[in-house]
């Protein structure tokens, strides 16, 4: 049975696409069948391969598949680089989360991979339509959530706020992945990572904290993912 993980972030431009590609590269390098799906692509063109899917394939050294070329590895795609609900509205469309669920399910069935990572658009609480947020879709489909955070200024506060909001929903992520981008100051990089590890251990011990470096070990990742 395919294990499906939803990749979201504390904010947009947080490194979800890069993290997804890194996970795929590590697993595929160990001959583990893994693939990815983009829930909603904004800033893309209908009929073209999702930009984020292309990055996933490039990072994992995999050529785009027929499913990618046919647009089956993306739920919906809109040209305006904006929140999904707005990008859809500009094109006089709306996002039906039941339709998205069917698209994801069809992809999983066709790709026949051991693991599939579904990357969201924007942050964890971004609206998909006027009544549903990304987290609502994740909860409804009961997908294991991987939350990406970063070292940018303000990320500690945002991360803690996200964790508290998710805890209130009783839907904590199975993992928190720390992406060191875009910080260059070593002291900040190390302190932010250590703070998050300590904070999660004290307040959310079920959440596994991983650095981007740790995500490059395919053997360890596979063992951990298999146990979820």
Q: Are 4 and 43 in contact (CB under 8 A)?
A: no
48 found inside a domain? yes
Q: What does the pLDDT read at residue 47?
A: 75
> Could you read off the pLDDT of 68-95 as tens digits, one per residue?
999 999 999 999 999 999 999 999 999 9
201 found inside a domain? no
Is residue 122 part of an annotated ligand binding site?
yes
119 found inside a domain? yes
Q: What is the largest CA-CA distance in the chain?
A: 48
Q: What does the pLDDT read at residue 143?
A: 99
DSSP run (H or E) holding 55? helix 51-59
Which residues are marked as active site? 38
Instruction: List, for the chain, all residue ranges whose pLDDT scores fall below the cut of 50.
Output: none
198 found inside a domain? no
What phi-psi label fits residue 71: left (phi over 0), alpha (psi between -120 and 50 degrees) or beta? left
111 found inside a domain? yes
Number of domains in the chain: 1
Q: How many residues comprise the chain?
A: 228
Is residue 43 part of an annotated ligand binding site?
no
Distance of CA 119 to the CA centre of its chain: 4
Q: Which residues constitute the domain of residue 87?
A: 3-148+211-227
Q: Are 107 and 73 in contact (CB under 8 A)?
A: yes
Is residue 134 part of an annotated ligand binding site?
no
Is residue 120 part of an annotated ligand binding site?
yes
How far apart are the C-alpha atoms of 55 and 127, rounded to whole Å?
24
Report the CATH number that the domain containing residue 128 is assigned in CATH: 3.40.50.300
205 found inside a domain? no
Q: What does the pLDDT read at residue 46?
A: 73
């Amino acid at each position: 049975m395919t294990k499906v993980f939803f990749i979201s972030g504390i904010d947009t431009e947080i490194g979800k696409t890069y993290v997804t590609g890194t996970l795929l590269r590590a697993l595929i390098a160990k001959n583990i069948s893994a693939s990815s799906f983009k829930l909603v692509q904004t800033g893309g063109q209908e009929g073209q391969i999702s930009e984020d899917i292309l990055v996933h394939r490039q990072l994992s050294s995999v050529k785009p598949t027929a499913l990618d070329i046919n647009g089956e590895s993306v739920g919906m795609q809109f040209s305006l680089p904006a929140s999904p609900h707005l990008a859809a509205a500009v094109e006089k469309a709306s996002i039906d989360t039941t339709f998205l669920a069917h698209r994801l399910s069809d992809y999983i069935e066709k790709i026949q991979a051991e693991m599939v990572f579904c990357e969201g658009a924007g942050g964890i609480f971004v609206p998909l339509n006027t009544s549903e947020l990304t987290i609502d879709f994740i909860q409804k489909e009961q997908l294991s959530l991987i939350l990406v955070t970063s070292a940018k200024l303000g990320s500690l506060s945002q991360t803690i706020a996200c964790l508290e909001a998710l805890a209130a929903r009783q839907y904590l992520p199975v993992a928190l992945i720390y992406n060191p981008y875009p910080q260059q100051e070593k002291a900040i990089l190390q302190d932010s990572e250590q703070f998050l590890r300590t904070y999660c251990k004290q307040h959310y011990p079920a959440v596994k904290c991983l650095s981007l470096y740790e995500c490059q070990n395919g053997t360890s990742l596979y063992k951990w993912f298999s146990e979820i």
